[in-house]
Structure 1
Amino acid sequence: MSYSALNQYRIMWVLVFFDLPTETKKQRKEASKFRKKLIDDGFAMFQFSIYLRNCPSRENADVHIKRVKSILPEHGHIGVLKITDKQFGMMELFISQQPAAKPEVVQQLQLF
């Protein structure tokens, strides 16, 4: 695989933002099930209602976005954002006004 296939414009990040109702036991169960399915698909928690996943290509990112769409809960607000690794790298993170490190990229095996 050439360097161009793995450059910062080809590698993608998929971010899933959600605000799900949790007032009833059934709603809490649905919200928990949605989060578990995200984790099962390789997403990691970035903040409580923001999960992200690194993908080696736009095509791979589209596969994971399709999976997210297939598990949408009945109620709540869900957003999905696909950005390049270059764009993700420009993000500034802070914890209590102190600069923070970006999440580590999990190396994933890519099969052809």
Structure 2
Amino acid sequence: MIQYSVYVRVCVTRQSAEFLEKRVSVYLPENGTIQTLMLTEKQYNDMHFLLGEKKKDIRNSAQRTIIL
């Protein structure tokens, strides 16, 4: 286990992700670590959920993609 809690933020561009990373750096804990990881939408969609029981959830599928 790397950490107990994970927070996700969707950013439209890499530039906006880097800006958000700088904003988060203001809140660095005195004793602790904040880790960031940037993924493309394709990489995120390729994530696998290992579950005891298969669920029909669309949180991690292309069905959720909306093209404007």
Task: Please state which band the TM-score falls in when normalised by the shorter chain.
Answer: 0.5 to 0.7
Aligned to 1:13: none
Aligned to 2:17: 61
Q: Is there any run of 5+ residues in structure 1 with no aligned partner, and where?
A: 1-17, 20-47, 106-112
Question: Structure 1 residue 86 and structure 2 residue 39: aligned?
Answer: no
- How many residue pairs align between the two structures? 61
Partners in 2 of 1:79 and 1:99 — Cα distance?
Answer: 29
Moved over 4 A (4+): none
Partners in 2 of 1:57 and 1:64 — Cα distance?
Answer: 11
Aligned amino acid, residue 34 of structure 2? I
**Which one scores higher on RCO, CA 8 angstroms, separation ≥ 6?**
1
3-state DSSP class of the match of 1:54?
Answer: coil
Task: State the Cα RMSD in Å.
Answer: 2.8
Partners in 2 of 1:96 and 1:63 — Cα distance?
Answer: 38
Partners in 2 of 1:72 and 1:96 — Cα distance?
Answer: 36
Is the strand fraction higher in 1 or 2? 1
Q: TM-score, normalised by structure 1?
A: 0.44
Q: TM-score, normalised by structure 2?
A: 0.67
Aligned to 1:25: none
